[in-house]
């Protein structure tokens, strides 16, 4: 009797080429309505995998393959309780660091507001919009993992002083990037002209930037967030911007995305992007290939390539 093919359920329709590749590994279904017999659930990083969905998974489902680096869209305790492995696609480092640097430059130099003025036919308003210098300033990085270190390399090319905060010191960053570790977050915030959030969202980092820590930032400092939206208390951010304490913010992620806090649209010194840190053709291809590799490895060995559990 022929052996049945493993069932792979996709959280949403994915590009035809990727779906065709997955069909070489097993039977592909789209949407969580039909989970019977599924071995793998493939989630786009924007799709939630809550406990209620995990409870519906059949006993044979052993892997949630996430097409994203972050895994905060998945209820990890629920997956762990069922013995389900979780994998991610940690191949977005350079592209996300590129975007973080682009946001830093765009926000400090008010590129978005200047372009809007020019498109509206107001040359004078755009030309007269003064930003702030980037080279030689101090950058504070929260989260000196792969993306944080990649951003630090870019910042050093602009002759920026690099400080960083995280749960532990990274000696390799200290030497290779001439970076300085700040064990206490507020110690870094009081020194940095620009603060970039590059850490994962956890119960410990949710609202890491709140009314108190935003107030600790230097007057006129700029906040960049390409990590996760809920790292920042957006109500407190709006208040800090409205009071003129912060000099600006560059945001690729939002606390309530896809909804953006309405008041953020009112600030000319805020650059807003729709979560496009990994949005290059090359990076998305890399992510798809990595997700495929995780599924293939799981089917061969019972463990994914990039296990997060």
Q: Which residues are known catalytic residues?
A: 228, 257, 275
Pairing of strands 27-30, 38-44: unpaired
Cβ atoms 108, 131 nearer than 8 A: yes
Q: Give the orientation angle of helix 93-108 with respect to helix 146-157, to 10 degrees.
A: 50
CA 275 to CA 223: how far, in whole Å?
Answer: 16
CA–CA gap between residue 69 and residue 129 (Å, rounded)? 37
CA distance 10 to 28: 7
**Are the CB atoms for 211 and 245 separated by under 8 Å?**
no
For 63-137, strand residue ranges (E) read 63-67, 85-87
Element at 295 (helix H, strand E): helix 281-301
CA distance 61 to 222: 45
How far CA 47 is from CA of 56, 63, 67, 273, in Å, comes to: 16, 16, 10, 19
Alpha-carbon span 105 to 99, nearest angstrom? 10
The dihedrals phi and psi of 260, each to the nearest 5 degrees, come to -105, 130
Asked whether the bond before 273 is cis by omega within 30 degrees of 0, the reply is: no
Question: How many whole angstroms separate alpha carbon 305 and alpha carbon 292?
Answer: 10
């Amino acid at each position: 009797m022929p052996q049945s093919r493993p069932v792979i359920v996709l959280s949403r329709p994915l590009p035809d080429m990727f779906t065709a590749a997955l069909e070489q590994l097993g039977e592909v279904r789209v949407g969580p309505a039909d989970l019977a017999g599924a071995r793998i659930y493939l989630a786009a990083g924007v799709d939630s995998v809550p406990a209620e969905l995990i409870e519906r998974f059949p006993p044979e489902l052993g892997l949630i393959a996430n097409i994203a680096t972050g895994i905060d869209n998945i209820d990890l305790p629920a997956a762990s309780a069922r013995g389900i492995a979780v994998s991610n696609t940690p191949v977005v480092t350079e592209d996300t660091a590129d975007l973080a640097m682009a946001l830093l430059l765009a926000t400090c130099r008010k590129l978005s507001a200047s372009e809007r003025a020019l498109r509206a036919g107001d040359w004078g308003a755009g030309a007269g919009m003064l930003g702030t210098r980037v080279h030689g300033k101090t950058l504070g990085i929260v989260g000196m993992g792969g993306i944080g270190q990649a951003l630090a390399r870019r910042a050093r090319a602009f002759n920026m002083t690099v400080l960083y905060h995280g749960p532990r010191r990274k000696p390799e960053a200290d030497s290779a990037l001439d970076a300085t570790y700040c064990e206490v977050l507020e110690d870094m915030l009081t020194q940095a002209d620009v603060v970039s959030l590059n850490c994962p969202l956890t119960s410990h980092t949710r609202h890491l930037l709140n009314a108190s820590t935003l107030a600790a930032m230097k007057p006129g400092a700029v906040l960049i967030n390409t990590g996760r939206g809920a790292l920042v208390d957006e109500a407190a951010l709006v208040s800090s911007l409205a009071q003129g304490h912060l000099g600006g913010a560059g945001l690729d992620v939002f606390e309530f995305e896809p909804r953006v806090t309405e008041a953020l649209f009112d600030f000319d010194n805020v650059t807003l992007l729709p979560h496009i840190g990994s949005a290059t053709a090359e990076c998305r291809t890399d992510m798809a290939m990595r997700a495929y590799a995780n599924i293939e490895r799981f089917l061969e060995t019972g463990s994914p390539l990039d296990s997060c559990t």
